[in-house]
Amino acid sequence: MNVLEETKKIEQEIIKWRRDLHKIPELNLYLPKTTKYVEEKLKEMGIEYKTLVNGNAIVGLIKGNSDGKTIGLRADMDALPIEEETGLEFSSTHKGCMHACGHDGHTAMLLGAAKILSENRDKFKGNVKLLFQPGEEYPGGALPMIEEGAMENPKVDAVIGLHEGVIDERVGKGKIAYRDGCMMASMDRFLIRVIGKGCHGAYPQMGVDPVIMASEIILSLQKIASREINTNEPIIVSVCKINGGFSQNIIPDMVELEGTVRAANNETRKFIANRIEEIVKGITSANRGTYEIEYDFKYPAVINDKEFNKFFLESAKKIVGEENIFELPTPVMGGEDMAYFLEKASGTFFFLSNPKVYPDGKVYPHHSPKFDVDENYFQIGTSLFVQTVLDYLK
């Protein structure tokens, strides 16, 4: 079976599915129109499925010609709260909501793989699970799917997923990228309330200044990366939001700092969380203030299995050729809740570089109101899904 030829036959269908989905972007864990669309396509293909997460996640099941292993294929389906500015004929019909991260393409490519595999059940043994996931952007849909049994009955032995667009500028258009071990960083969020005592700005000795304490905290947090962790290890501690004060001549009672932490392993992740609180406690105590911290451990790092990567790469070579496979030298510091699926089964998460290049030569990044992708490469994503399944379940 020539997978690329089979995918080419349905390429226009895949593109149509993506465009249909692009028109109806939905947010978070509430995707009624999106899931209805996917369910209709699975019914047309004769694929059995069930819904999870209050009907907003879909798990399809394709059974081969006999018993065997089970492989999961994952696609996220949610969009972003962004007003679209692409000017596409199939632009979002939902005001203030847009597929600005390529999840419409992920869903369409997985539907393409589902169609080909459902029509070729006689060519593999075992099972294929189709994992259509909500809420990747926020608040996370992989974990609730797993908690509701998405990876069981039958138990998933391996899982793969992809992300399209230009996730990493080192990856040329038309290439795929992978990495052994940490592919993408963990993603955690902190909110620090620095509490002092308000007073007149002309008489600072009458109060306890949270602005000064917050400033010291911001600078000290940057020393975690530069002075406390091996410089070869990628980590990020970013304070992204500061909120405090209401007048130019009044020292406020409180300043809030909110930010994100990225790390490549759980040990460092926990170390950073502990150090943040130690630093905040020390600075506020030294300045007669107090503090409160909300620390949310969100998505763990995306860890690709080295042995499964070897297997996947052999399948990938049949589709794109060795010259179009790029090994990332360092992890990407963005986060992805595909990580939870990879904690439950060995597997691979890879990037498909297919950014749209506008007539003026510009490429707009993910989460931009002008983000778009080159649909001509959808056949590559679908083919990689199908080839990996056929090789794994042969």
Cα–Cα dist 223/215, whole Å: 13
Cα–Cα dist 389/253, whole Å: 59
CB atoms within 10 A of CB 43: 11
Q: Is 366 annotated as a binding residue?
A: no
CB atoms within 10 A of CB 96: 12
Residues with catalytic roles: 78, 136
Place of tokens 């940057």: 222
Phi, psi of 3 (to 5 degrees): -65, -45
- ω into 139 cis (within 30 of 0): yes
Q: Is 103 annotated as a binding residue?
A: yes
Cα–Cα dist 136/161, whole Å: 13
Question: Considering just the CA atoms, what is the radius of gyration of the chain in Å?
Answer: 23
Q: Is 200 annotated as a binding residue?
A: no
Cα–Cα dist 251/268, whole Å: 36
Q: Which residues line the annotated binding site for Mn(2+)? A: 101, 103, 137, 163, 367
